[in-house]
A and B are shown apart, each in its own frame.
Chain A
């Protein structure tokens, strides 16, 4: 048996790698696959009913043998549903007509069916001409589009009049070439990154959340870096290296292990209820009882996360400082440099990569952190961006959107989870990519740093 134990250990490594790979593959395929224009099917049932939609998945029937197929049919304005389960053995005929159209619309979500006419003020086009007119109209920016109405027909034959200005994109996936699909896909990815959410987070993009996240980590870095670096310099260069300094160092290191929610509680209690309410009482008393600073907002969130990432910055910077040989310090001092001159001209430039690593690690940690933000300032849908053209341009008291919280909110509080899940996948993928890229950069920098130092010694 003692020969076999090591196999279990080896399998642990294999299993861990496997789980990580599975998670990343899942996110990659589902997150990116969502934007690919899927084939639309027209399905005739035994009962004679015709439906059109995208086949999503097949599962065994719950109460008898056989399989059933889930279709995304859209058209919620017609029958109140977006999804349809169909038992496979009830299907009489499946086809993929080239003229099936999928429209992305604002209030009711996607439409799947046929385009029968394009009516503008001057003319009424039908058939292929209508489709060409529609794509031509959609090529214009939203504001410059002509006012027109589409006459749509669902697979079941119901007619629908749809104003053009509610439509974002239209495509006929069954008629698209591979190249056209790729282009449509990349447009979809771009829209996801550059547009705001719509239709209760089931469509559109995450741009405000990206912007909010980036803005928050920027404000946070501006706060945390000076203090973190100062503290690290103090601990490593100025403090007497005795028992007390060692204790403080252990304490700081351990703060990194304190749950993030505790920082959130502190932020809510001290920043929001404590400082924020006092600020409101002193400076914004005319707008009370509606709070200005006395509620969660960008500033409080950034401050809370700055506190949370402080240990990360201190530990990483100190590590960099400790790596600099004392000979460099003595060399500078022996030439008549004061401590400040030694620090600014020799030590800090040499520690710059370590400080860069520190800020990257801090940003990576902050970008993925959600729990404290639930207490101190994110919003499901922020009506105003924290940056606009109104003085003072940066509004630190406003609520903001955050990728991680957007993910949580869309996944758990959406009205239509089924429809939103592909977008949640895409958001999760984006978040993981951001955090992993940041971490990889930090690992690379650190490795490079050790390597370089190693050669010189």
Chain B
């Protein structure tokens, strides 16, 4: 077959189609401009918050402090309560999923757990504030018992399993325990709910809430720190879980197997090898979780009772910075001192979460390169 006639080439320095080159340069320029617009918008957030907080310098410092300190305390209290619940569950789940679960099951369970993160805060807040809070108020003793009883009953399940016959242990392998423990936990919950009121009656002769009030003078608010902790804990579990699980799964299996080959149990291998190796990743997971807990607005708004008070009691409410901004900012006129204080509060939130997240991200990236190097060597 004869080749088609060759196109006539002009000199390379004068393109046959100059429009293409011009278009290319134009496109590159506009992409760059677009990208810098994005960067400018991002920077504008920080600049705006800073600028609008400046007028506070001329105000008496005590005003700002007086307004913000109960809010800061409320924010810390809510975040602390949430982390108290979320940390053990998220880290436990991450350890189990990364190290004990068979890969197929893991690839199913992980997206399901991460799906929790997508549930809007307003829905969690509604359930916590209007459904969970009144229920817990009616069943305070049962709730407290559940918090202790569920872990205990799990240990009981472990003891039973280890003393069970080999055939049963094969049928209910530990690697699937994350699934088959759910009916066990449901059963244990019902047992606790059924048994507690009787015990409560015998021990303190009535309702725990009244007893707390009369005997110890503890005030119980329907929407309180404990409820916020539960709801926001639920909301931050998935973010901590996802990152911690990634960090643990990135630990090269050769390391774990090496430790086990030396006679360590899987749990010892985890404790001595995997956790130190994945430590920075877990740290950054916790940081991200904390950042989320500090900034979450709707859950605190709906489940906390919104009382700006100093109180360490888990049974009393609080108001967080984010919730205060959501409620008070639309009602304050621009240029009023409240307006500037609230903007300053937003700046604090912004800086705090941004710094915490950057720290977490840097630590995570460091860890990732370190682990991949370790994996290469192993």
Contact = CB atoms under 8 A, between A and B. Distances in A.
Quick one: which of A59, A227, A254 has the most chain B CB within 10 A?
A254
A12 B123 contact: no
B42 A16 contact: no
A310 interface: yes
A179 B367 CA distance: 61
Quick one: which of A17, A227, A296 has the most chain B CB within 10 A?
A17
Contact of A408 (B291, B298, B357): B298
A273 B291 CA distance: 28
B120 A339 contact: no
B349 A10 contact: no
B216 to A, nearest CB: 22
A273 B322 contact: no
Nearest to A407: B122
Contacts of A235: 35
Interface in A12-54: 12-21, 23, 26-27
Given A339-B27, A439-B118, A9 B95 contact: yes
Given A9-B92, A11-B150, A404-B122, A307 B41 contact: yes
A265 B49 contact: yes
Interface in A402-423: 404-405, 407-408, 411-412, 417, 421
Nearest to A274: B48
A259 B297 contact: yes
B21 to A, nearest CB: 6
Contacts of A404: 120, 122, 298
Interface residues of A, number: 89
B202 to A, nearest CB: 16
A159 to B, nearest CB: 37
A261 interface: yes
A343 B151 CA distance: 55
A370 interface: yes
B37 A227 contact: yes
A2 interface: yes
B24 A12 contact: no
Contacts of A20: 112-113, 115-116
B164 interface: no
B59 interface: no
A438 to B, nearest CB: 8
Interface of B: 20-21, 23-24, 27-28, 30-32, 34-35, 37-39, 41-42, 44-45, 48-49, 52, 88-93, 95-97, 100-101, 109, 111-113, 115-116, 118-127, 129-131, 138, 150-151, 154-155, 157-159, 161-162, 174, 177-179, 181-182, 184-186, 234, 237, 241, 265-268, 288, 291-292, 294-298, 301-302, 322, 325-326, 329-330, 334, 342-343, 346, 349-350, 353-354, 356-358, 361-362, 365
Given A12-B93, A265-B346, A371-B297, 4 more contacts: A2-B265, A15-B89, A269-B343, A375-B325
